[in-house]
Amino acid sequence: MRVSVPATSANMGPGFDTLGIALRMKNQVVIKPSKFHSVSLKGEGSNNPALKDNNMFISIFNDFYHNLSTKRRNFRFEFFNEVPMSRGLGSSSAVIVSAIASAYAIEGIELPKPKLLNLALAYENHPDNITPAVMGGFNVATVQDNEVKYIKKDMPKYLKAIVVIPNRPISTHMSRKTLPYKYSKDDAVFNLSHASLLTAAFMTENWEMLRIASQDKFHQKYRMKQMPELFEVQKTSLKAGSLMSTLSGSGSTFFSISHADDCRKIEKELKAKFPHFRVFVSDFDNYGVRVDK
């Protein structure tokens, strides 16, 4: 059985804890019944031996598997990870979503995506990464009475993401601590209006509006101060023709969107200016978590 979950970019500027989008890069796990428990890792995390012993995926999988099954089978878990950890590309959401989906699938129990999304909420209490991880596409999401309420929009193929991954991580937990405890009414109205405009721009495919609509006063500047090169990444990307360029999740990755015709030029300029960062073009994912039995 194989489960794959896409990387996600949350916030998208002003949509703090609300907006998120799924990218084509993904984490996959292949699970096979086996005499003994074993774990193999390829890609991101493979140089971290601790992940073989103390892995968030295994512990969430076991929580669900032990609840769903009376049998005590052992499994071999083979991980193929493309999503870097603590870089703002939803690595923790990818693990949470794939572990829950895997436990249900291995027991042959149907798990509708909205139910999977609500189960994932117990492990990540903001819905902006888990929603696109489960559903794919661009999503607006909120939590009401312990349920995620969301609206999804598929992304067109003629738009691409340009991803800049710095060589240092930022932990979400630490990064949230740098944010103000309170915001002024002016800043609240600024973010409310920009997040609303950004959402409307996605829904109506008014891409030229993204540059203005993606501005934020809630979190980016506080977080980007931890890695000041990110201000230059944003400037370079917008100057080279991106439609929008925002901190991805809690950072450190920077996420831009452009028309397909412009993406290689933007990628080239970012690569030239930031040779120590990983820069690449990605398609969007419109499907979300996928289970192949």
Ligand X SMILES: Nc1ncnc2c1ncn2[C@@H]1O[C@H](COP(=O)(O)OP(=O)(O)OP(=O)(O)O)[C@@H](O)[C@H]1O
- Judged by the rule CB under 6 A, the positions of this chain that interact with ligand HSE are 10-11, 16-17, 126, 128-129, 172, 176, 219, 249-250
Give the interface segment with ligand X, choosing from 48-56, 69-77, 146-154, 254-262 (CB under 6 A).
48-56
Residue 86 interacting entry, from ligand X, ligand HSE, none, C-beta within 5 to 8 Å by type: ligand X
How many other CB atoms are there within 10 angstroms of residue 142's CB atom? 15
How many other CB atoms are there within 10 angstroms of residue 72's CB atom? 7
Nearest CB to ligand HSE, comparing residues 124 and 267: 124
Q: Say how far apart CA 114 and CA 97 lie, in whole Å.
A: 12
For the segment 153-172, give every residue that binds ligand X (CB under 6 A). 171-172
Q: Tokens 């996605």 — which residue?
A: 202
Nearest CB to ligand HSE, comparing residues 17 and 267: 17
Nearest CB to ligand X, comparing residues 51 and 164: 51
Q: What is the CA radius of gyration of the chain?
A: 19
Nearest CB to ligand X, comparing residues 236 and 250: 250
Q: Are 56 and 92 in contact (CB under 8 A)?
A: yes
Q: Say how far apart CA 114 and CA 106 lie, in whole Å.
A: 19
How many other CB atoms are there within 10 angstroms of residue 33's CB atom? 10
Could you tell me which residues are annotated as the binding site for ATP?
A: 84-94
Among residues 250, 256, 282, 286, the one that binds ligand X under rule CB under 6 A: 250
Residue 133 C-beta: closest distance to ligand X, Å: 10
Among residues 14, 45, 127, 136, the one that binds ligand X under rule CB under 6 A: 45
For position 57 contacting ligand X by CB under 6 A, the verdict is yes
Nearest CB to ligand HSE, comparing residues 26 and 87: 87
Could you tell me which residues are annotated as the binding site?
A: 84-94
Residue nearest to ligand X (CB): 249
Q: Say how far apart CA 174 and CA 187 lie, in whole Å.
A: 23
How many other CB atoms are there within 10 angstroms of residue 167's CB atom? 11
Type of residue numbered 147: E
Q: Say how far apart CA 284 and CA 8 lie, in whole Å.
A: 9
For position 226 contacting ligand X by CB under 6 A, the verdict is no
Q: Say how far apart CA 243 and CA 202 lie, in whole Å.
A: 12
Residue 81 interacting entry, from ligand HSE, ligand X, none, C-beta within 5 to 8 Å by type: ligand X
Q: Say how far apart CA 156 and CA 159 lie, in whole Å.
A: 6
Nearest CB to ligand X, comparing residues 172 and 191: 172
Residue 17 C-beta: closest distance to ligand HSE, Å: 4
Q: Tokens 């933007």 — which residue?
A: 266
In 3D space, the residue among 105, 132, 159, 122 whose CA is nearest the CA of residue 6 turns out to be 132
Residue 131 C-beta: closest distance to ligand HSE, Å: 11
Residue 17 interacting entry, from ligand X, ligand HSE, none, C-beta within 5 to 8 Å by type: ligand HSE
In 3D space, the residue among 226, 195, 242 whose CA is nearest the CA of residue 19 turns out to be 195
Residue 19 C-beta: closest distance to ligand HSE, Å: 9
Binding site for ligand X (CB under 6 A): 10, 27, 45, 51, 55-57, 81, 85-93, 95, 129, 171-172, 249-250
